[in-house]
Amino acid sequence: MADEQLFLRSKVIVEPLVDRFVAQPHTVAPVPASMNLAFLHLRLLESYLQNPQVHVAASHNPELRGGYFINIPEDRADEVRDLVAAIKRDRADMLRFAEAIAEGQELLRTNATGFDLTPLYPQLPEELSGLVELAYDTDNQAQMRFMEPLLYKSKVYAEDRQSVQLSFETGIERPFILSTPRLPSPDVLDIDVPFRHEGLAELFRTRIRPTSLGHLRDALGLDDLQAKQLSTMLSPEPSLAPDRHIEGGGRIRYFGHACLVLQTPQGSIVTDPFISADSTAGDRYTLDDLPDFIDLVLITHGHQDHIVFETLMQLRGRVGTIVVPRSSRGNLPDPSLALMLGNQGFSVVEVDDFDEIEFPGGKVTATPFLGEHCDLDIRAKSTYWVELAGKKVFVGADSSGIAPALYRHIRNHLGTADYAFLGMECDGASLIWLYQSLITRPMTRKMSSSRKLSGSNAEQAAAIMTELGATEAYVYAMGEEDWLGHVMATTYTEDTYQIKQIEEFLTWCADRNIKAGHLFKQQEWRW
C-alpha cells in the first residue's frame, strides 16, 4: 500500500488544535490568544478540576448549550491536570504577557488623563516594551496599539502549541469548541505539526489528487503507528461529485450557515467556508462538491463560525487567494486576519471598503459591514459584492441594517443586486460570551447584555432590501444545520424570537413580490 495511489476518504475531518483547544481566531492571533489562554481556558480547566461532575452535567444540559463547561469524563481528570501543568510550564511567556496587558491597561486608566503619555512608557511591564504604542483618541481616551507583526516573531506566538487531530465524521455532535479541549484518543490520529506545515497541504490535496501513503508518511514525519492509522483514512477511489464544475452560465450553491460557492466555467469563489464532510448524509453539499480549484475565498469577519480552521485547512493547496477585511492595526479586539492566516501558510489579500479584486469571469468589491461586534472598535469586517456571469450578488453576512442609508450608498456605487444574502441572528450572545478574556475592567451584566453579537431583525433586513433594491433575498441559517453544533451551539424552536423575525421578513418580501427564503442545508441557483 505504501506506493499505491490513494485519495483521502470523504468523511475524514480535521480539528486543528492549540494547546489541545480547537483553533479559532481568539486562540491563534498572539494578543487575544495570550489573554484567552490566561483568563479563560486556564481558569476553565482549573474550575473543571475542582468539580468535574458539575462541568459534565452542565455540558449535557440542553438549557446550558454553548456555556463554558468542559465535557470530559471525570475518569480523565488526570489528563486535564497534566494539560494544566503543561500550560503553566510551557506557556509561561504567554501567561505573563497577558498579565502585562492587564497591568498596562490599568496603568492607562489610572495615569492617562489627557497629558503627555511619554512618562508612562518606562512604567509599562517589561513584556510590553517595544511592542506597544500608547495613544489617545480625540476624546482623550488612551489605549495601547500592539505591534502585531513583531508578536508573530516573539515567544508569545509559539507554533509548538499547534497540532491536528484527524478522525472520521460520525454524525454525533462534537463538544463545544470554545470550552472543551480535545484529548488524545485511540480513534483519532494526532499529528504534532504546525498549521503551516507543507505536509498538511499535501495530505488535503489528496481529496482531489492521489498520492501514496509512503509519500504522506514522509511529508508528515509519521511513525509506524501513525502511518497505520492514516492508511485507514485513504481510499483508492476519489469521492468527488461529478457536477462540482459547470460548463456554462453561472451557479450559486448554498453549503450551509454563511457559506456560498459562486461559480462560472472560468472561476469560483467560496464565502466563509464552513463545510460538512459527511457525504453519506444526502441532505447537504459537502467537501466533495467543491470545485477542484477555488480562485478566491472571501472572509467576512473574524468570528469562529466564519473563519473555520477545520475547513480552511482542508483547502490548502487548492485556493488561489483568501480575501480578508483590513483590521485597525494593533487594536486589542481586532487582530489582523491577514497576519493570522498568512502565518498558517495561506496567500492572503486585505481589502478596504470598495476595493476591487478581479477573478476569472468576474469581479469582487468589498463593501462596508455594520454592527454585530458588540460595539467594539473592530474594523476587520466586510460584506462583498460579487459580479459574475451577468449577475450581481450581495454577500451581507451578519451586517446589520441599523443605518439603512449605508446600503443606499452601496446601491448608488454598484447598482442593483440580483441576489442579497443576509444574516438575521438578531438576538445574539452578549459581549462577555465571546470577548470576556479581553475585558480587563469589570463590566456589569446589564451593560454586557445590552451589547450583542446581533445581525438584522425583520425591520432592519427590510430596510436593507429597500435600499439595495435587490430582486431576491435569502436569509442564512443561524447555526441551525446539525453539523454546526460544536461551533454554534444554538437551539431554536418555531417560537424563538429570531425565527419569528425571519418569518416577518419573509412576509414583508412576499407582500412586495420579492422572491425570498430562509436557507437550510442546501440550495442552488442557476442561470
Are the C-beta atoms of residues 128 and 146 closer than 8 Å to each other?
A: no
Mean per-residue pLDDT for 377-394? 97
Rounded CA-CA distance 373/429 in Å is 10
* pLDDT tens by residue, 150-170: 999 999 999 999 999 999 999
**pTM for this prediction:** 0.97
Rounded CA-CA distance 47/101 in Å is 23
Contacts of 405-412 with CB under 8 Å at 24 or more apart are: 405/467, 406/368, 406/370, 406/467, 407/463, 407/464, 407/467, 407/468, 408/467, 410/367, 410/368, 410/385, 410/467, 410/468, 411/467, 411/468, 411/469
Task: Kindly give, in sequence order, each residue whose CB lies less than 8 Å from that of residue 173, ignoring residues fewer than 6 positions away.
Answer: 482, 485, 486
Angle between helices 42-50 and 52-59 (to 10 degrees): 110
CA distance readout (Å), 303 to 23, 274, 314, 328: 12, 12, 19, 16
* pLDDT tens by residue, 173-209: 999 999 999 999 999 999 999 999 999 999 999 999 9
Mean per-residue pLDDT for 376-385? 97
* pLDDT tens by residue, 224-246: 999 999 999 999 999 999 999 99
Rounded CA-CA distance 243/70 in Å is 41
Cβ burial 227-237 (10 Å sphere, 16+ → b, else e):
bebbeebbeee
Q: Does pLDDT of 2 surpass 80?
A: no
Mean per-residue pLDDT for 64-89? 97
Rounded CA-CA distance 234/241 in Å is 17
Q: Where are the domains of the chain?
A: 7-91+158-235, 92-151, 251-526
Rounded CA-CA distance 346/312 in Å is 9
What is the CATH class of 251-526? alpha beta
Rounded CA-CA distance 96/379 in Å is 28
Give helix then strand counts, H and E, for the chain: 18, 22
Are the C-beta atoms of residues 323 and 351 closer than 8 Å to each other?
A: yes
